[in-house]
Amino acid sequence: MQSYLESKKKKMRKSSRDVESNLPDYDNQPCFYKIARCTGNASHSLGIPPHFVRTHLSKRMPTRAVLRGPSGDCWNITMCQQEKNRVMRHGWQQFYQDHSLGDDEFLLFRYNGNMCFDVQIFDKSGCERKKVSIARTHQNSAMELKEEEMDITEIEETEPQVQTRTGKRKSTEQKNAGSSSRQQRLTGRKCKAKLCKAAKDFISKFPHFKHCLTKANVENPFLLSIPTSFVKANLPGARTEVTFRTSEQKSWKVTLIHSETNKVFSKGWRTFAIDNKLKRFDSCVFELVASEEFRVHVFQN
């Protein structure tokens, strides 16, 4: 009987180790929690625990942060110093109102790096809000992923190339030299990532754009910018769900988010990147083969 119990315990310990080894990476990401109160200034600002600031955030912390809610939408937040604490101020009230907070909800802030936080919301029953009804009332609260809003010292971005039906290439750098020069001043270096030859030589009768993947595309925060000129010429001017397909005919739903300055693939892009084992410096061609449907060609580095 004793040997049977010992054997059972060993199996349980092995099973526990297997579960721990299979935990997704995001479970190891630093996080902190807050309770959304309806009293005081809870709706106007949110303090970040000092220990979290000292342990996980840069001493030269940017004044901007991005919160990504359960819907996949993003909010720009201004960070400021209040006495000895770092607080989220401008933009927090909009996030608070859009999610109808103030009923003692439990908020879990999971840090993705580059001053980007994923926010999970749990109501008083202890259940997570998977779907949140959001009434966005301010266009300027949409995501604007400018370089100065991120920890840009760790990000190397490339200029996506838009290719017209005639085959003439135009880069966003050529279309907006001022923006490119501003980016180089901010980063202090030129972009290193380049498209591979196969991607450069790719031609199609369909409108498409090309992009060499960066760290921010294939790691947290898992976002991919789309050339504004391509969106204006080929896609709706509002938040849209598009379909990605590969040569294997598998499909993924990906959300395109708009702001005044950026167009970004957000919700669904993470799953697509992981499923297709995308890595930094891989080249991708996004070919618009039908209304709101892309055929994605991946050229591995």
Of 101-105, 108-112, 200-204, 259-263, minimum mean pLDDT range: 259-263
Has residue 71 got a pLDDT over 70? yes
Average pLDDT over residues 198-225: 89
Query: For residue 40, which amino acid is it?
Result: G
Residues linked to residue 287 through DSSP beta bridges, in sequence order: 208, 295
Query: Residue 55 contacts by C-beta under 8 Å, 6 or more apart in sequence?
Result: 30
* DSSP, res 295: E
In angstroms, the CA 292 to CA 241 distance is 7
Q: Determine how many CB atoms are found less than 10 A away from the CB of residue 139.
A: 9
DSSP state of 280: T
Q: Please tell me the distance from the alpha carbon of residue 142 to that of residue 235, in angstroms, as a whole number.
A: 18
Q: Which residue has the higher pLDDT, 9 or 216?
A: 216
| Span 224-248, average pLDDT | 87
**64-68 vs 116-122, strand pairing mode:** parallel
**Measured distance CA(224)–CA(218) in Å, rounded:** 9
- Answer whether the bond into residue 236 is a cis peptide, omega within 30°: no
pTM above 0.85, yes or no: no
